[in-house]
């Protein structure tokens, strides 16, 4: 799990915190499925993403690195009915009180 996470760019301090969390053992228990996650990710293309026809909200966290925010922006540009939001937050995370109103507004429309 640690090798995978660091390999995809999760900062070392984030991984260290994850290792100390109660959910680490659950993540380790499903680590053998990461190969499937990787295969699906590799098979996903801009052409496939462009075929999404439902309204889609793509959100990133301003505290994430350029790779994640860039991927979010690319996905939003590729999906015909997508909107994109970049919310205040840390690496790969947005606080519930910031995220909830954005989700509520999206699902109301």
Q: What is the pLDDT of residue 25?
A: 94
pLDDT at 92 over 80: no
Burial 84-105 (b: 16+ CB within 10 A, else e): bbbeebeeeebeeeebeeeeee
Same domain flag for 39 and 52:
no
Which band of pLDDT confidence, cut at 50, 70 and 90, is reported for residue 30?
very high
Same domain flag for 102 and 52:
yes
Structural domain harbouring 93 = 48-109
Same domain flag for 34 and 57:
no
Same domain flag for 106 and 53:
yes
Same domain flag for 91 and 62:
yes
Please tell me the total count of domains within the chain: 2
pLDDT at 24 over 80: yes
Residue 41 or residue 30, greater confidence: 30
Same domain flag for 83 and 64:
yes
CA atoms within 13 A on the CB side of 4: 13
Same domain flag for 73 and 96:
yes
Same domain flag for 90 and 39:
no
């Amino acid at each position: 799990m640690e090798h995978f996470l660091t390999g995809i760019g999760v900062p070392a301090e984030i991984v260290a915190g994850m290792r100390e969390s109660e959910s680490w053992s659950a993540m380790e228990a499903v680590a053998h499925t990461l190969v499937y996650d990787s295969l699906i990710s590799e098979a996903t293309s801009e052409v496939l993403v462009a075929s999404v026809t439902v309204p889609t909200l793509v959100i990133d966290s301003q505290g994430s690195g350029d790779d994640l925010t860039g991927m979010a922006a690319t996905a939003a540009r590729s999906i015909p009915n997508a909107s994109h939001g970049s919310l205040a937050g840390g690496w790969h995370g947005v606080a519930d009180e910031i995220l909830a109103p954005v989700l509520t507004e999206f699902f109301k429309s």
